[in-house]
Structure 1
């Protein structure tokens, strides 16, 4: 049995106890309180603390659905240790169906935040000070923005064997090497010793059952690896090992117009293959978009209209 004291947001969670805590940072301009539920499940046996978080960008609701299903399926009830779930981090953006905070800032660019800073900065500060110090492992769930659909993927920093092992265990179809971005939640958490995987899948303001299932199954495999998965749950093996994307490139529209996308995220394309058309609305031109090289489409733009220079495909260059 665990004897380690666990106090989060001023409340102590005892071994074998479940609690939903409410993090309150600020109110709406109507004086309405906004509470961010933090759902904590603690086993009687001691073990690691795992955080499943989503909704850092308020319009990336597929991540919220993944964490919601982790809760409703009772995957968050560990056999040992503690699981913390925050389905919606940016509750302000979630209410407004917006990526940003009401102050116009991207929450994922202001970490570790400041106690006396902007609204977003203050929120980041309390998240880092109140929640993250208790966490050993984390999976932060995201989706593609601006109509861009991400194939299900884990993002980790290069040259980190422990994170690579965890990514192999989670076993999303793709693993993309990407450096931590200054001001990001992942960067701030890693500096505090948290081993974090960043999951990307789907697009903003959209729910995709296949993406959701990838996230839930990956979370179960993750917990099983840590000997935390509830004995009543089964971690199903993935059909294939992840494809590691070592380098990749964005393909941008050469013309503005109506965008006819022929490729889904996750597909393999060959050099010269026609993967889309861009047309004008008046029947004057029809431009072919060809794959610049062979590779996997790890992000595909689903927007019906694009402007010259818009990112339309993210294509792998080197895989491992």
Structure 2
């Protein structure tokens, strides 16, 4: 396998540095890409995270996969990129220094903005080698996502792969123009998008779900080595075919939020929004029954802020 002008031989694990730009200090910027090949032919799986530099839970999942040597395949090839947006990771921000969201810049441009150039290199130098992708994310702006996979509706193969990964929730979500997932789809690459946790936070339970799901995924393709034990999921996976965001009707302190993953009935009190002077307190009630799959963990909200994501239509697998 030739990747970024370097050869990775069968049976070899090699770290290849992607160099696109420098810091303003003239220091070289290197993005490590860990490539592990088996001596036995098989598919190539990309495990990526850190498209948004502040989504640490995804980075922790890929980090642990490398640390535990789960990324060394029994057959085929596993490529790991723990931190794609190294600028955002260093600055603890979602965006690139140019203010752009990398996950809206695909397929990118060789001579475009900094974020666009990163997207271009991923699409043209990494994706042509790949058959499958699991891209790990977390909720942005302190919104805690329940562990979930997202796939576009109507793709039976992706749904089957999601069932093998088996997170608590599978959410139907159309591919967004300019996203990494959309770029994968256009190249015929099967991509699963994992969401779990929130920005600037590492939740061990979310990491465990992501790692165990990845192991089941790799085992399905005969890529997981024999020394690793597969953990069978204890609960059914809930498929959410439709969902809705609830937004704050007033501004104030967000108090006593209900926990993520909770199934609620119509009228269930989810939280309250109070003014800081003790005069008013508005209850937030569920508009319909469903699972709470995202909770806004910030203590202060403004009118119109997204505060809960709740399922509307579900089915169990």
1:120 alignment partner, SS class: helix
* CA RMSD, Structure 1 to Structure 2 (Å): 0.6
Paired with 1:292 and 1:56, the residues of 2 have a C-alpha distance of 34
Alignment of structure 1 residues 272-311 onto 2, 5 Å: 272-311=267-306
Alignment of structure 1 residues 57-96 onto 2, 5 Å: 57-96=52-91
CA contact (8 A) 1:272 1:293 kept: yes
Aligned twin of 1:13 = 8
Unaligned runs of 5+ in 2: none
Correspondence for 1:26 among 17, 21, 27: 21
Aligned twin of 1:117 = 112
Shift of 1:144: 0.2
Paired with 2:100 and 2:256, the residues of 1 have a C-alpha distance of 31
Shift of 1:240: 1.7
CA contact (8 A) 1:41 1:78 kept: yes
Paired with 1:125 and 1:95, the residues of 2 have a C-alpha distance of 21
CA contact (8 A) 1:275 1:290 kept: yes
CA contact (8 A) 2:263 2:289 kept: yes
CA contact (8 A) 2:257 2:295 kept: no
TM-score when scaled to structure 2?
0.99
CA contact (8 A) 1:168 1:241 kept: no
1:223 alignment partner, SS class: helix
Unaligned runs of 5+ in 1: 1-5
Paired with 2:37 and 2:58, the residues of 1 have a C-alpha distance of 23
Aligned twin of 1:3 = none
Paired with 1:239 and 1:26, the residues of 2 have a C-alpha distance of 46
Alignment of structure 1 residues 122-133 onto 2, 5 Å: 122-133=117-128
Aligned twin of 1:180 = 175
Alignment of structure 1 residues 1-320 onto 2, 5 Å: 6-320=1-315
Shift of 1:277: 0.6
The size of the alignment, in residue pairs, is 315
2:15 alignment partner, SS class: strand
Paired with 1:189 and 1:122, the residues of 2 have a C-alpha distance of 17
Shift of 1:294: 0.6
Paired with 2:22 and 2:93, the residues of 1 have a C-alpha distance of 17
TM-score when scaled to structure 1?
0.98
1:237 alignment partner, SS class: coil
Shift of 1:241: 2.5
Q: Runs of at least 4 residues of structure 1 off by over 6 A?
A: none
Query: Deviation digits for residues 180-203 of structure 1, max 9, x if unmatched?
Result: 000000000111111000000000
1:250 alignment partner, SS class: strand
